[in-house]
Each structure stands twice: as structure tokens, then as C-alpha cells.
Copies of this chain bind each other. A is one copy, B any other.
Amino acid sequence: MKILIKNVILGKRKVDILIEGEKISKIGKNLNLRADEKIDGKGEKAVIPGLINCHTHSAMILFRGLAEDLPLKDWLEKEIWPRESKLTEDDVYWGTKLAILEMIKSGTTTFNEMYWFEEAQIEAVKEMGIRANIGLVMLDFLPTGSKEKVEKLYLKFSHLATQPLGHLVTFSIAPHAIYTVSKENLIWAKNFAKRHKLLIHMHLSETEKEVKDCLKKYKMRPVEFLEKIGFLNKNCVFAHCVWLENKEIEILEKRGCSLVYNPTSNMKLASGVFPWKKIKGRKINVCLGTDGPASNNSLNLFSEMKIGAILQKIENKNPTVISAKEIFQMATKNGAKALRINAGEIKVGRLADLVLIDLNKIEMFPEYDLISNLVYSDAKNCVSDVICNGKILMREGKIEEEEKILKIANCRLQNANWKK
């Protein structure tokens, strides 16, 4: 399968791009080559890497708007958990499909997932054609979070993970957090991940309470505890990382961990502010995530980039503390690095995960600086075409199965058990 994209703006140049199979194979002027599909940007579309959402719980879209503006404890214990316990595999399948719809429409081509019913997620990802890292979730107090489940699922699906570059589904081991997974199980997870060359995807230091509880239980701060048990290495992708002290940041740097900034969720739940100023300038890979759509309430990484940038500016009383370019890189190149995928940049040899931006939309006016417009001007509805793994997922704003998915999902979920 070949796709030829004509006349798109890449940086300051107008170029043609040839995609062969799952990769970008040529970028140049006047490529007049045969292709199965052609898209003409007419010099009025820009091309950017597909955005990468490094931390989410997709199917929680089912709970979006359900119970807002509550204290975290009430929200979780009274509203979310009782409903989650009633979710079925079918619910998660449809929830994941809906979330993927929203991600594609907002220019996301890869997401790093952590939620239950992993098999349903895999099904949804494969059908929708997006790229995802599926976390095999561990949680001590649930049978669906056991080591046995992780082993069983990994055995069943490992053929996907070990296939060569370009396949849509990869896996991580996803122990929920240090306060929900025992030391023994964390060590098991670390070893399992190492043995199978998997990523680890985990919440870390999201709330002050987590740190206080850790100090009480282990007499150490969370990162010190993880260091002590030999958990930390460059396969770790940690979400939130709000309550970090300098000594912890130094450890994370030394071990080469990736950190995921989740500004909207951290603000909405009043968890705290990611310590960007302490991290900036260090050799730490920082990427961006929306967190689940029940605590954001969106999967739009354009909005996340804006909120992420302006939050750091106000927090540090300094408008220069972070630039549009830096936050854009978190949502693209850094995300790809964290998830070990050959994407995040438009270059020959990279995976063909890319997004076309309609420059004729009012949000892209004036065209002084594309990156600035993408980050600050609310660019979601300028996404016109989305290609992932060399396949067109959205063309001129249209996703083939969009209406059908929305209709079926609506019907299936109308009488869901957890809605009562």
C-alpha cells in the first residue's frame, strides 16, 4: 500500500511525502509517483507527527461528566468505583472505541493505556487502526489485577508484541501505584517486564497523600522506595509525578525513566503541579498525557499542550519557563521515545503516523508560527487527515465508521448496569 501526499507544508518547506507500507519512504519536491491513495494538501495543509498520549484510561469516557466538582475521595469511592465494579467487557470495548474516535479526531495516533478488560481494548485498537501500548494492569485488591492474569494475557498476546516494528499493539506491565500493589508484586512486575522487554506504566506521586502514606509505610519517599527495590530503569513510564523532591528527580534522571505530565487532570482534581522547573534542563524524558476522560474531561492533546504550557508559566511566575516548542515536543518526539516507537517526527524511515492540519481555518490565522498556533490557538478542529501506520484513519475530517460507532455504542450503553 502506497500513499502519496502532495503539497504539504513541513516546517518552512512545501513537500510531497511518500508512504510505503507502514513507513515514510520519501520526502521531497515534485514526487510524481504511483500510489494507491493520493492526498493533495494544495499548499494549504501542514503536516505534523501524530500526537502521542502517554497516559490515559480510555474507557473511562463512559463516566465523563457523571459527577463533577467533587472531592477526589467522594468522586472515586461514591461515584466511580461502584460503577466500575459493574463494567462488562463489552462496555470497555465500546468505551475504548469511543475514546479512540475522539483521539483520532484530535490528531492523536498513539496512546498509552491503563484500564481493565485488556482484551477488549486490544480488539478496539486493532479495529480502529490506532497505535496503543496496552497496560496489563496489576492491582492487589482485585482478581482482575493479579499476576496470574498478567501472565495469562501476556502469553496469549505476546506474539503481537514481538512482531517487528509497525504493529499497532504493544504491551506494558501496569502496576497501578505503590499504594495499591505490594512490594513483592512490584518486584515481580519489574522482573516480568525485564524478562519480556516490556515497558512499565505506573502512577507515581500523583497526590501529597500518596507521598505521606509512603513515608509512613516505608519510611522513604516513593521514588526512594522504588530505587531501593531496584524497580527503576529506562523502561519505566511514570504518570503524574507531581510531588517530587530534587533528590527523587535526580534518581529518576540517573535511571533514565520517562515522566508523563498530566496538567488538566492534576488541576481539575487539585492534585498539584508537575515540577517542570526543577526538571527542565535535566536529561529526563518528559511526555504528555490527558489522563482518563473522566478526570479531564477530554482526550484532546492540543488543549493539553496549551493548558500544560500556561500552567507552568503561572506556577513559576515566568512566561518564558516553557515554550510552545518544548510542550509540542513532549506530545510528539518525547512520547515516541517513552513508548519506544519509531515515530514522533516526520522523517524518512519513521513510522507513517502523521496528521494534516488545515491552514485555512481561522485558528491557524495568521501563519507566523505553526507550532505556536497548534499549541495555543485551539487547533483541534484544524485536524483534517490522520494517518497511522501507513493507513488513512480520517480523511477531510471524516472517519468512515464514526456515525455507526456512535449509534451502536449509544444503544449498547443506554441500559448499562452501571448507569443505575
Contact = CB atoms under 8 A, between A and B. Distances in A.
A62 B365 CA distance: 8
A68 interface: yes
Contact of A373 (B64, B71, B271, B380): B64
B320 A70 contact: yes
A383 B186 CA distance: 47
B323 A68 contact: yes
Contact of A68 (B316, B366, B372, B406): B372
Given A378-B298, A380-B381, A362 B313 contact: no
A322 interface: yes
Contact of A270 (B61, B98, B268, B314): B314
A68 B325 CA distance: 10
A105 interface: yes
Contact of A314 (B105, B266, B316, B410): B266
Interface residues of A, number: 67
B406 A298 contact: no
A317 interface: yes
B368 A69 contact: no
Nearest to A360: B406
B377 A298 contact: yes
A39 interface: no
A366 B69 contact: no
Interface string A279-309: 0000000000000010011101001001101
Interface string A175-206: 00000000000000000000000000000000
B269 A319 contact: yes
Contact of A365 (B264, B300, B367, B410): B410
A106 to B, nearest CB: 8
A65 interface: yes
A220 interface: no
A68 B324 contact: yes
B380 A72 contact: no
A105 to B, nearest CB: 7
A173 interface: no
A270 B72 contact: no
B376 A322 contact: no
A32 interface: no
Contact of A65 (B293, B306, B366, B413): B366
Nearest to A68: B372
A71 B319 CA distance: 6
A408 interface: no
A311 interface: yes
Nearest to A100: B362
Interface string A250-264: 000000000000001
B378 A303 contact: yes
Given A313-B267, A365-B98, A373 B324 contact: no
Given A298-B377, A376-B297, A366 B319 contact: no
Contacts of A310: 264, 267-268, 307
Contacts of A61: 365-366
B406 A65 contact: no
A363 interface: yes
Nearest to A402: B362
A148 interface: no
Q: Which 4 A-B pairs have the closest CB atoms?
A: A267-B310, A65-B372, A297-B376, A267-B314
5 contacts: A64-B366, A64-B373, A68-B323, A303-B303, A366-B413
